[in-house]
């Protein structure tokens, strides 16, 4: 018997054997083992094909065609058995499925804690008649510094604090420029708050190069420090509860005179200064934490926005939203607000 006939007989026998065994494979693993045994690089078919170099050109053509036909046949049978096993697996899974069982409730997203606090602060002031204004985050030196009574040598203008884009163009360091823009476009009486992002060269546990601030101001005839105290005391009680104590400490800001910083009784130790037997970590044992800065609008600022300080007066205040949120929710690391850890954000759903 010639070599080519031997190879053809082997191919015929292989096709018959594989057709039977592939159809009997009852697991994915068994089927894969058979595929490797018959069609793998070192499988039965490959071993037969390795004998082709001993044939003549005509015999090679005849044996090669037969081998390809067997390969196609075995591949088709393998695919059919694989699909059958997948259907059997699906039926087995469905047989154990109870459609009466309750479904899985999809996880719902929530507003970011900074958004929640911003909206709560805004509602508090809107309830007192304040409008909400917005404006550009890229500002000129005039709106960010000059019109707010910052002298040319003020350290806040330094490159170490301010992110400059050009000589007189910068990323706003506070939302106070919106006070200038609003008072230039509206005539008193004006009461507004300006929430938004601000930028400074700072980054640690309690500071971020980008953070959120809310500026507020009111200008009218006869506005006094008493109006400022009453407005901010109402705000504190609205956000932190009616039992929260408030105090005003003298301070200095270029755009207000007189100026003050507002403290509230510590939200962690309730103003006692102690957490157990240790000093409170939030207020450092003082019983007070700073919440915002404020004051009566400096006459120079009113003059810069074309309002006569002899006729009108006003107050202004500014607070960091992150600061309020950290106190309200007891958060110790500012960076949690910006890392987008779903475990942290999910607590505010």
User: What are 3-20's pLDDT values in tens digits?
Assistant: 777 777 787 888 888 888
Residues 56, 59, 63, 68, CA torsion sign = positive
pTM exceeds 0.85 for this model: no
pLDDT at 72: 87
For residues 277 and 271, give the distance between their C-alpha atoms in angstroms, rounded to a whole number: 14
Among 226, 129, 137, which Cα is nearest to 181's?
Answer: 137
Among 152, 150, 189, which Cα is nearest to 167's?
Answer: 152
Residue listed under structure tokens 């400490």: 249
Residue 206: pLDDT above 60?
no
For residues 234 and 175, give the distance between their C-alpha atoms in angstroms, rounded to a whole number: 22
pLDDT tens for each residue of 163-182 = 888 888 999 989 999 999 99
Length of the chain (residues): 349
pLDDT at 186: 92
Give the DSSP H/E element, type plus range, for residue 256.
strand 256-265
């Amino acid at each position: 018997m010639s070599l080519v006939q031997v190879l053809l007989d082997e191919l015929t026998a292989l096709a018959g054997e594989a057709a039977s065994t592939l159809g009997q494979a009852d697991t994915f693993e068994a089927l894969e083992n058979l595929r490797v045994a018959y069609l793998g690089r070192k499988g039965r078919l490959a071993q037969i094909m390795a004998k082709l170099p001993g044939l003549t050109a005509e015999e090679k053509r005849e044996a090669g065609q037969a081998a390809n036909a067997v390969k196609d046949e075995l591949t088709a049978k393998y695919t059919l058995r694989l699909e059958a096993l997948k259907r059997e697996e699906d039926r087995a899974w469905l047989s154990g499925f109870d459609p009466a069982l309750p479904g899985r409730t999809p996880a719902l997203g929530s507003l970011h804690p900074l958004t929640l606090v911003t909206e709560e602060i805004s509602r508090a002031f809107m309830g007192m008649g304040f409008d909400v204004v917005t404006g550009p985050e890229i500002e000129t030196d005039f709106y960010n510094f000059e019109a707010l009574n910052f002298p040319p040598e003020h350290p806040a203008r330094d490159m170490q604090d301010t992110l400059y884009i050009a000589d007189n163009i910068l990323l706003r360091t506070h939302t106070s420029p919106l006070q200038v823009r609003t008072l230039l476009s509206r005539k008193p009486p004006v009461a507004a708050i300006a929430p938004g992002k601000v930028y400074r060269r700072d980054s640690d546990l309690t500071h971020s190069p980008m953070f959120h601030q809310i500026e507020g101001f009111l200008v009218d005839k006869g506005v006094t420090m008493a109006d400022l105290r009453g407005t901010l005391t109402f705000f504190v009680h609205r956000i932190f509860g009616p039992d929260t104590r408030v105090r005003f400490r003298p301070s200095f800001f270029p755009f207000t005179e007189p100026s003050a910083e507002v403290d509230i009784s510590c939200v962690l130790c309730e103003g006692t200064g102690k957490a157990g037997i240790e000093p409170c970590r939030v207020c450092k044992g003082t019983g007070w934490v700073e919440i915002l800065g404020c004051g009566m609008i400096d006459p120079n600022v009113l003059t810069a926005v074309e309002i006569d300080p002899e006729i009108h007066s006003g107050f202004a205040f500014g607070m960091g939203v992150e600061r309020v949120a950290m106190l309200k929710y007891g958060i110790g690391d500012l960076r949690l607000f910006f890392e987008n850890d779903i475990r942290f954000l999910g607590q505010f759903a």
